[in-house]
Structure 1
Amino acid sequence: MTVPTRFVSDYNITSNTYLLESKKQDKKIHTIVYEKSGVIEVSKRPLRLIHIACENMGSNYRASINRSKQFLDENKHKFPLVVATDYGHPQVMFPLMSPKSHNNIWVSFNAITNIVNHRTHVTVTFKDSLEVDLFIHISSLNNQYVTSAMLYKAILKHWNRFVPL
């Protein structure tokens, strides 16, 4: 885990957000946010930041999951979610574990530029060449990445039906 450069009490997920990682601070769970401007510690849980992002999109967490279910296999339990938009492009984040787990990490599908498998971990490279080591099996990361790509394409196709030519 990289040492945060600043501490904040609130944070809005944007297209500049790369990864949300849990951090236990005393008896509370905080979030380490990796983003374009650096690393930030937020005094809220990652799932709370996801809830807020869904609300900022004019929806809520449960409705966002249901929206993902419309485009993906309903039997999944780790759904990627559209948490923001950037010039008409959905910003998709996916969980690596159960979203309710204190050890879960949320990854921005849109920000990934490379994935490298190592024996003990996976190195994910984000925009601006930021590299983060994740201690997860490559197959789990690949599965979530592919599912997020499917959601991204389906949402774009759905949204483009309403764009006048």
Structure 2
Amino acid sequence: MDKNCSAASNYLVSFNTIALVPIRIENKLYTRVIENHTEFLVKMKPSSIIKKSLIYYGNSYKLATFYSREVIGRVHKPPLLISHDYGVPLIMFPTLSGESEGSIWFSSSAIDFFTFDSHNRCLVHFTNSFVLPVNVSQSTMCRQHTFSHFLTRGFQKKRTKIDHPFSQSILMPTNKTTKK
């Protein structure tokens, strides 16, 4: 990525977003936004992009964190449901604490698999064939990706209940006959 290129001043996470990578240029923290077919710099911290996106889609960081913990339990670094479209959730997960300036945020649905190179760096392979080397342990990546899967499944279960509210068996009174 050319660090001398101009940077956008604003960005919202979308289904095209695959990663938000913090990058420091001249003592300022920017975000390297990697999308399905392009990448660029944004003059915002990754956590600020996440928070702004949540607000744009009608949520907040606090409520998204609360929802995540309701579904998967009280975990450190919970993945967040940013938005959804036609029942498909857009879930992002951090590599560090969500508030940390060094945290990389990944779209869970954009990840294909992980490998490791000879320098013990995690190589994140995305569904668009892009590979991003990151200094994150295998256990962290697996844990975060697994929690994202649990959040996706929890979201889908709640959607099913909304889409089919009467599919659960309803206790009906039994028809008792009385003797005369």
TM-score under structure 1 normalisation? Answer: 0.91
Cα RMSD, aligned residues only: 1.7
Query: Which residue identity lines up with residue 14 of structure 2 in the other structure?
Result: T
Instruction: Identify unmatched segments of 5+ residues in structure 1.
Output: none
Where does residue 68 of structure 1 map in the other structure? 68
Q: Does structure 1 retain, via aligned residues, the 8 Å contact 2:10–2:42?
A: yes
- 1:3 to partner: Cα distance: 3.6
Distance in 1 separating the partners of 2:27 and 2:47: 17
Among the aligned pairs, what percent are the same residue? 25
Matched residue count: 163
Query: Which residue identity lines up with residue 162 of structure 2 in the other structure?
Result: F
Q: 1:123-142 to 2 correspondence within 5 Å?
A: 123-142=123-142
Distance in 1 separating the partners of 2:9 and 2:160: 36
Question: 1:154 aligned to 2:154?
Answer: yes
Deviating above 4 A after TM superposition, structure 1's stretches of 4 or more consecutive aligned residues are none
Question: 1:79 aligned to 2:78?
Answer: yes
Query: Which residue identity lines up with residue 72 of structure 2 in the other structure?
Result: L
Where does residue 7 of structure 1 map in the other structure? 7
- 1:113 to partner: Cα distance: 1.2
Describe the shift of the 1:47–1:26 C-alpha distance in structure 2 as closer, same or farther (beyond 3 A). Answer: same
* Larger RCO (CA within 8 A; separation ≥ 6): 1
Where does residue 114 of structure 1 map in the other structure? 113
Q: 1:9-48 to 2 correspondence within 5 Å?
A: 9-48=9-48
Query: Which residue identity lines up with residue 109 of structure 2 in the other structure?
Result: N
Which structure shows the bigger proportion of residues in strand conformation? 1
Larger mean CA deviation between 92-101 and 116-125 belongs to 116-125
Distance in 1 separating the partners of 2:129 and 2:6: 20
Distance in 2 separating the partners of 1:6 and 1:61: 28
Instruction: Identify unmatched segments of 5+ residues in structure 2.
Output: 166-180
Q: Secondary structure at the match of 2:163?
A: coil
Q: Does structure 1 retain, via aligned residues, the 8 Å contact 2:95–2:141?
A: yes
TM-score under structure 2 normalisation? Answer: 0.84
